[in-house]
């Protein structure tokens, strides 16, 4: 695509390395295996129903290889259930959403799919380019501050259904130690799908500021126009985050997200707040909590919210234990409190663990 080509040419020119920087005589190509597995056992109560289950929530297996000082590549497989059809949006002739509850799942659990597969180029210490199946940089900063992805996804992922990866290109530029910016052009369909037949793409940009050591504030927005007649509204995300960490004592973060025309449906807006905090008792033990509040606008004259999962509050509290490096355990309470008083609360106790290589 023309936009991709212009972006690559521009960023390569401004960061073009000198001859001295391209000396690879002392460099030795090397690679590493990447493994990340999350398991969870869950006891859940909703109304008069109780259930227990054990799951592998996520399994990433891949490899990263450094070809030269400025060139590397990473490919990671995601083990899950890729053929999932749900959150079906049905509209009438005027484009208004009609209520439905249809969903469909097929295929084996723990089927492998390619999640990341990008080539990376670092022309200077300040500039990084990635192309292919890339990690989108919308909630990576928040996820790092939260620190418990193996317990629960971030708000944008869990409540807005936003994929962490997509097909496209992204550039990271750090002109100053306290300032960094990123910009991306992607398909907008997530990593499981190629470009749609309409050729629509998503444009994204973010800026991160670190005014003092340990404190970071980030602003992010993306823009997804659509030429699909059934879903022709422009989808936009506006996100603001701030967080602070005092090493070996505590960390705290808060974010607000507004998703305009969710799924490219006019007046289909989701928005909400997420706040989280951790007290680091020692190198091995931490206690933490989180509060999310998801809301949505309501169709004029209707009683149902646009949000198919329902407006409500998520509460998480637990203890984290790390016996050795790259192995983590947690015991948590996870509650869902719907805003509609007629709906049942969901309460769960979860034992989760992860390991990395």
Query: How much of the chain exceeds pLDDT 70, in percent?
Result: 81
What does the mean pLDDT of the chain come to?
A: 85
Instruction: Output the six-digit token pair for 284.
Output: 């091995």
The 10s digit of each residue's pLDDT in 158-205 is 999 888 889 999 999 999 999 999 999 999 887 777 777 788 899 999
Return the closest-CA partner of residue 77 out of 106, 108, 36, 18. Answer: 36
CATH number at residue 318: 2.40.160.10
Provide the pLDDT for residue 21. 46
Q: Is residue 223 part of a domain?
A: yes
Pairwise CA distance, residues 350 & 331, whole Å: 6
The 10s digit of each residue's pLDDT in 11-40 is 444 444 444 444 556 889 999 999 999 998
Return the closest-CA partner of residue 46 out of 351, 347, 349. Answer: 347
Q: Is residue 69 part of a domain?
A: no
The residues, ordered by sequence, that sit 6+ positions from 75 with a Cβ below 8 Å of its Cβ are 62, 63, 114, 116, 117
Query: How much of the chain exceeds pLDDT 90, in percent?
Result: 60
Provide the pLDDT for residue 10. 45
Instruction: Output the six-digit token pair for 204.
Output: 């994204």
Pairwise CA distance, residues 268 & 272, whole Å: 14
The 10s digit of each residue's pLDDT in 157-170 is 999 988 888 999 99
Name which residue leads in pLDDT, 20 or 277: 277
Domain total of the chain: 1
Span 265-277, average pLDDT: 94
Local structure of 357: helix, strand or coil? coil
- Cα angle 186, 189, 192 (rounded to 5 degrees) comes to 110
Residue 98 has pLDDT above 70, yes or no: no
Q: Is residue 27 part of a domain?
A: no
Provide the pLDDT for residue 88. 56
Q: Is residue 105 part of a domain?
A: no
Provide the pLDDT for residue 20. 42
Pairwise CA distance, residues 255 & 273, whole Å: 6
Domain that holds residue 158: 2-14+114-356
The 10s digit of each residue's pLDDT in 42-68 is 898 887 788 898 888 889 999 999 999
Residue 137 has pLDDT above 80, yes or no: yes
Provide the pLDDT for residue 58. 82
**Full-prediction pTM beyond 0.75?**
yes
Name which residue leads in pLDDT, 67 or 109: 67
By the 8 A CB rule, do 351 and 41 touch? yes
Provide the pLDDT for residue 327. 97
Provide the pLDDT for residue 13. 42
Span 103-130, average pLDDT: 82
């Amino acid at each position: 695509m023309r936009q991709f080509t212009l972006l690559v040419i521009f960023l390569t020119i401004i960061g073009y390395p000198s001859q001295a920087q391209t000396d690879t005589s002392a460099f030795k190509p090397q690679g590493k295996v990447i493994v990340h597995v999350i398991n969870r056992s869950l006891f859940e109560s909703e109304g008069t129903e109780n259930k227990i289950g054990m799951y592998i929530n996520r399994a990433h297996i891949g490899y990263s290889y450094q070809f030269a000082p400025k060139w590397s590549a990473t490919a990671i497989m995601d083990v899950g259930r890729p053929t999932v059809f749900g959150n079906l949006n049905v509209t009438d002739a005027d484009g208004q959403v009609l209520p439905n509850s249809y969903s469909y799942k097929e295929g084996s659990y723990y089927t492998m799919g390619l999640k990341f597969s990008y080539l990376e180029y670092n022309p200077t210490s300040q500039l990084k380019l990635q192309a292919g199946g890339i990690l989108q940089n919308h909630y990576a900063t928040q996820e790092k501050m939260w620190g418990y992805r193996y317990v629960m996804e971030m708000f944008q992922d869990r409540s807005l259904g936003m994929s962490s990866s997509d097909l496209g290109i992204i550039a990271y530029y750090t002109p100053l130690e306290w300032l960094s910016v990123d910009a991306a052009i992607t398909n907008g369909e997530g990593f499981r799908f190629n470009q749609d037949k309409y050729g629509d793409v998503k444009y994204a940009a973010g800026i991160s500021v670190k005014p003092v050591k340990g404190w970071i504030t980030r602003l992010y927005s993306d823009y997804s126009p659509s030429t699909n007649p059934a879903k022709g509204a422009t989808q936009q995300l506006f996100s603001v985050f701030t967080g602070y960490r005092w090493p070996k004592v505590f960390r705290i973060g808060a974010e607000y997200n507004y998703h305009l025309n969710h799924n490219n449906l006019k007046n289909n807006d989701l928005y909400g707040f997420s706040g989280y905090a951790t007290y680091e008792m020692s190198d091995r033990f931490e206690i933490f909590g989180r509060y999310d509040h998801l809301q949505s606008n309501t169709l004029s004259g209707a009683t149902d919210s646009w949000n198919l999962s329902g407006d409500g509050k998520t509460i998480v509290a637990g203890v984290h234990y790390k016996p050795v490096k790259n192995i983590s355990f947690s015991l948590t309470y996870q509650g869902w409190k719907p805003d509609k008083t007629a709906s049942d609360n969901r309460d769960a106790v979860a034992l989760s663990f992860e390991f990395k290589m």
